[in-house]
Amino acid sequence: MTLSRRDFLKLTGLGMTGAAAAMAFTACAQDDAGTTEGTAGATTGAEKSEELVQNTDTSLVDEGTASTEAESTGYIRPTLTVLQDDPGTIPPYSPNMNGRGVLWSMYELLFEQPGFGLGMVPVLADESKGALGGYDHEAGTGIYTAYIYDYIHDHEGNPITADDIVFSYNNYIEQGSNIKKWVGCKALDATTIEFEFESELVELMQLDGVWGGCFIISQKAWEAHTDMLTSTECGTGRYTCTDFVGGSHIVMEKVEDYWQTNTELIRTNQQANVQTVRCEFQSETAQKVIALQTEAVDMVESLPTEFVGEFLEHEKYQVFSYKDNLTYYLLFNCSEESIMNDINMRLAICYAVNIDGVLAAMGDGFGARAYYMGNDNFGDVNPDWVNWDNYNTKVGEAEAGVVQGYLDAAGYKGETITLMAGTSGVLGNVIQVVQAQMLQYNITIDLQQRDGASLSVDLAEPANWDIYANMAASKGLIANVWGGNMLNASVGKTGLTTGFIDDAKLTELTSSILTYEGHTAEKLDETWQYIVDNAYVIGLFSQYNNMIIPADMTYIARNGKKWPIHGACQFKNPEA
Amino acid sequence: MWRYIVKRLLWMVFVFVGVAFLIFTIMFFCPGDPAELILGSEATELELEAYREKLGLNDSYIEQLSRFLFDLFIKFDFGTSYTKHVDVIDELLNRAPRTITLGWTCIILNTLIGIPLGIMCALHRNSIWDRGFMVLAMVGISMPGFWFALMMVILFTKELGWLPQYGIGTWKHWVMPIISGALAGIANNARQTRSAVLETIRADFVTTARAKGLKENVVVYKHMLPNAIMPVVGQLGAAFGRAIGGTVITETVFSFPGVGTYMTTAITQRDYPVVRGCVIILAMFAAVANLLVDIAYAYLDPRIKAQYVGLGKGKK
């Protein structure tokens, strides 16, 4: 049989198509295999890392208060290459923006918050002066007096005096930062600064926020740098910036003439255990994975759980997973314009949501289920809340009867409920799962996602939404999480809560737990029970953050936001 | 010809004013309060009000627009970023050269590779080369840019170790961003050029040229190509806009600090001065690219050249 040219071409085309299909299927099969392996590994990673989290947090607390240089391994790693988010610019104000963790290596604060609600550790403040370890305060007044060392200098040799502290705070406010009750500050002498507030700072963590929020710079350096220190640097920290390109990288070198020469006063986070830190800015997960696979970098600050599996038993890396301080939650719109104004409707949703189901849909090892609005990162959590008998502790039980009962009590007739969320991928997945779960009870959910700016506009309009999916955080205590404008009507620009809750008792409770006087275990219990009874909010889960760190790293130094301070991390001496 | 160029330059002024007006108006009416985004949700209404006043956001639309246009066109001041606290023009001067270089290099590659490839395929239509390149062109157009970029990283960085994975510094850092940025354009140009040449091959004037006994080279290069190339040249200006738009993905994947990523971040943060600055700078370069294309068009198309030459003579 002979083939015509046309038949030959047809056959060749068919053959090529078949080969392409076979290759595609093979690739898919390999992909699946890889994913399964990765996920399984990730689960193990999260479980393993839980212990590490506890250990590290404990050591952070212990060493963060008064560690010395001698306690470090003494080994200086030549270089550390890190992949992290892009800070855009590196100004010594707005330090909490994404990617700005590098600022903690170059600039310093009067006091630093070493962890969640753990108090303040003096940095530039001289802890030998003042009755309160670096500062004085006369009860009942809004006057706080801080003392600094008299030998501080920045990277260009400019001495840091009380006048520079005053300048730094004024500049901090000038650049758009807020300090509640702020009146002003003035230098009393070269090392003493008086801070004045409208009244005594009775709210939890308020003073910590003031002294732990503003990086100190010298006025001389500020005036000498015409770029407002947005792309150059002149701080007092252990590292100085030698090269910075926004969107690309920053290189930091260890400062050899660091101002603090008394090694007994150098805390863990002030140590310099790396000679050169190079941070490259990369947000693409695939690029991060390839960089790790090629061993081009030493550390990746954040990697989704499904990709950590292959680095668990890696020769060069170890995985460090920790539960971050963000809790995902559903908040209900209690205004009269929303169907969720009815407590029975809110309870129906609370019972209908299967949190374990949500977490399962997000993937193994993705996060830890919430039993309340927050997680056990916070020092003021009552561990017993996990066992409290409320809708939030029900796990995988058939709640159909209960849900239907509440729906009937609310008179629900299939009205569409608007579930609003921001544009993050995680939130997008969460609301889709919740929508699917609600369908089992014939509850119709309409999903709406908005970017940050549009979201705040829509949320301010009570008719626009019924349930709001979001995440809440605090670097203080769980009381701060509840006391945000999510539940506390005393803050926020409109005097209302985000959920339009008009409840004097809730306001009284959440305001009370935010003060030193009212922040008691009993009051916290009462507040949480009240929130549960009224179904104002339901906590869903806290996400695990996975850091890939070098195998020789023995300690991860982190600031109050849990961001790593690269140069202060400790490493095994390869020659030891 | 000079009249044509001067006329086009004058039009560009109107284009810039129009772009400035449009981008200001669009951003003005976008939902979202920059003060709230900067100060956070815990800021009180008093603090927000004071910050809006500081940024000049409390003024009327007309006042803000006038101030913006005055600053832009009289003082050449693009403003200061709300979030980064840095002069927009400084940041743009820092970033724009990279994006423009990337965009222009892509355009040059599109032209230098895509057009000859299209011509070759058309002249040897239905040959194995023609079929092969057109399949590749189809693949090039269909492939998502970020996927192709990552495949290149896997091949050239992970497997072969020839090129750096991302970042800036040496010429090697430019190779993968340029290839990934240019691929779709090359494929598109090749297909368009092939179609245009095939249209021309069947034209009467080509048949006439051949009937006159002209050599095939003369028929192709003197009669066929100048006519076939016109539509391809005409879309090069628009291709520049597409290339610049495409750099957002390239810049993100390769950590390439250009205007694209700067602008997209600014849009989500409602950083009005940055968005306006980026749009105007990109519009400026797109306008210049279009001007160059139009000049080339006028040079290549005798009808346009004759129109202006004739007008000039007439006036004399």
List, as one string, the DSSP characters of A547-566: EEEETTEEE--B-TT--B-G
Residues A406, A344: Cα–Cα separation, whole Å = 5
Q: Per mean pLDDT, which range of A165-174, A389-398, A494-503, B210-219 is the poorest?
A: A389-398
Residue A239 belongs to what H/E stretch?
strand A239-245
Highest mean pLDDT among A491-505, B116-130, B255-269: B116-130
A24: confidence class by pLDDT, cuts 50, 70, 90: very low
**The pTM is what?**
0.80
CB–CB contact A247 B251 (8 Å) = yes
Give the start-end residues of each E strand in A259-389: 274-281, 299-300, 317-332, 367-369
Q: How far is B220 from chain A (nearest CA, A)?
A: 30
- State whether the Cα torsion B117-B120-B123-B128 is positive or negative: negative
Per DSSP, what are the bridge partners of residue A300? A83, A548
The amino acid present at A165, given as its one-letter code, is I
Of all residues in chain A, what percent carry a pLDDT higher than 70? 84
Residues A43, B158: Cα–Cα separation, whole Å = 27
Beta-strand relationship, A467-472 and A317-332: antiparallel
Residues A127, A138: Cα–Cα separation, whole Å = 17
Report the residue of chain B nearest A89, measured CA to CA: B84
Out of B37, B86, B255, the one facing A89 most closely (by C-beta) is: B86
Residues A359, A430: Cα–Cα separation, whole Å = 9
Q: Per mean pLDDT, which range of A43-47, A241-245, A412-416, B294-298 is the poorest?
A: A43-47
Tokens 């926004």, residue?
A246
C-alpha A148: how far from chain center: 30
CB–CB contact A230 B85 (8 Å) = yes
Report the residue of chain A nearest B50, measured CA to CA: A176
B83: confidence class by pLDDT, cuts 50, 70, 90: confident
Largest CA distance in chain B: 86
Residues B145, A270: Cα–Cα separation, whole Å = 44
Report the residue of chain A nearest B86, measured CA to CA: A230
- State whether the Cα torsion B102-B103-B107-B113 is positive or negative: positive
Tokens 């314009």, residue?
A337
Is A343's pLDDT higher than 50?
A: yes
Upper half-sphere CA count for residue A93 (Cβ side, 13 Å): 24
Residues B22, B16: Cα–Cα separation, whole Å = 10
Helix-, strand-, coil-residue percentages of chain B, each rounded to 5 = 80, 0, 20
C-alpha A419: how far from chain center: 24
A528: confidence class by pLDDT, cuts 50, 70, 90: very high
Give the start-end residues of each E strand in A333-480: 367-369, 416-422, 444-450, 467-472
Angle formed at CA B190 by CA B189 and CA B192, multiple of 5 degrees: 65
In angstroms, what CA-CA distances link A150 with A153, A162, B128, B131? Answer: 9, 9, 81, 79
A559: confidence class by pLDDT, cuts 50, 70, 90: confident
Nearest to A57 by CA among A4, A115, A121: A115
Q: How far is A15 from chain B (nearest CA, A)?
A: 16
Average pLDDT over residues A242-267: 92
Q: What is the reported pLDDT for A79?
A: 96
Average pLDDT over residues A179-199: 94
Q: What is the reported pLDDT for A27?
A: 41
Q: What is the reported pLDDT for A59?
A: 32
Give the start-end residues of each E strand in chain B: none
With contact defined as beta carbons under 8 Å apart, do A79 and A278 qualify?
yes
In chain B, residues with a C-beta closer than 8 Å to the C-beta of A283 are 252
Count, in order, helices (H) and strands (E) of chain B. 16, 0
For A248, the token pair is 């690309």
Highest mean pLDDT among A556-560, A565-569, B166-170: A565-569
CB–CB contact B51 A247 (8 Å) = no
How many interface pairs between A and B have CB atoms less than 8 angstroms apart?
A: 127
Cα-flanking dihedrals φ and ψ of residue A105, to 5°? -85, -25
In angstroms, what CA-CA distances link A100 with A95, A213, A304, A375, A565? Answer: 6, 13, 20, 25, 11
Q: Per mean pLDDT, which range of A126-130, A331-335, A484-488, B257-261 is the poorest?
A: A484-488
Query: ipTM of this model?
Result: 0.78
Beta-strand relationship, A111-112 and A299-300: unpaired
Report the residue of chain B nearest A280, measured CA to CA: B167
Neighbours of A356 (CB within 10 A): 13
Average pLDDT over residues A199-207: 87
Angle formed at CA B81 by CA B75 and CA B87, multiple of 5 degrees: 45
